[in-house]
Structure 1
Amino acid sequence: MPGELIPILAIIFGCSIPMVAIWAKHKQKIAEMQVDTTAQATAEKAAQYTGQIAKLEDQVQVLERIVTDRGYDIATQIEALRDTVEVEQGSSGVPLEINKQERV
């Protein structure tokens, strides 16, 4: 009886080894495809981030020019003058000369 099992076991192992090899090769192909897909997605995200970083750097350069220009100081002075005029005029928002003319 044990002698009869040896050929049966040989046939089973003989068939299962190629099946395991095919399964392993299939798993390897799936893993390679996943790596390729992940690499492509990562490259696309990197390109998007590079574009966004370039835009942000341009915006920062514009803001730096505005802040360091004399124009920023002038804008600040204009706003300061507006604040003082509003304090003098009260809350009506009408220039003082017009108020005086209407009262006459």
Structure 2
Amino acid sequence: MLALVVVGLPVTLGIGSEMMKRWLKHKEVMAQALNAQTAEKAAQYAAQTERLEQRVRVLERIITDRGGDLAHEIERLRDAPLN
């Protein structure tokens, strides 16, 4: 019985230790993959937000720069004959 404990316990602990190291390495790799994926999504969202902000700026410029002329042009287009 003593031989089983003296030999078996270190072998069992060694195998368990190696399994734990592999599991932790796997978790680390999975976390890195998740971080890369999250960073890619954040970059995509930032680019989309930038495009939307540019479009809003254009619309604001159209409305503020040509607000009075815009109403006049709309009325002129309504009065124009259809071909």
Q: What's the CA shift for 1:8?
A: 1.5
Aligned amino acid, residue 54 of structure 2 = D
Query: 1:18 aligns to what?
Result: 14
Runs of 4+ in 1 over 4 A off after TM superposition: none
How far apart are the structure 2 equivalents of 1:61 and 1:79? Answer: 21
How far apart are the structure 1 equivalents of 2:18 and 2:68? Answer: 75
Over the residues paired in the alignment, what is the CA RMSD in angstroms? 1.9
- Aligned length, in residue pairs: 81
Query: TM-score if structure 1 supplies the norm length?
Result: 0.67
* Runs of at least 5 residues in structure 1 that lack an aligned partner in the other structure: 86-92, 95-104
Structure 1 residues 7-65: Cα deviation after superposition (integer angstroms, max 9, x where no partner)? 11222212101000100000110110011001100111111111111111110100000
How far apart are the structure 1 equivalents of 2:74 and 2:50? Answer: 32
Query: 1:50 aligns to what?
Result: 46
Of structures 1 and 2, the one with the larger relative CO (CA 8 A, separation 6+) is 2
Aligned amino acid, residue 28 of structure 2 = E
Query: 1:59 aligns to what?
Result: 55
How far apart are the structure 1 equivalents of 2:11 and 2:73? Answer: 90
Q: What's the CA shift for 1:78?
A: 3.5
Query: TM-score if structure 2 supplies the norm length?
Result: 0.82
Match of residue 75, structure 1, among 70, 79, 83: 70
Partner SS for 2:2:
helix
How far apart are the structure 2 equivalents of 1:18 and 1:41? Answer: 35
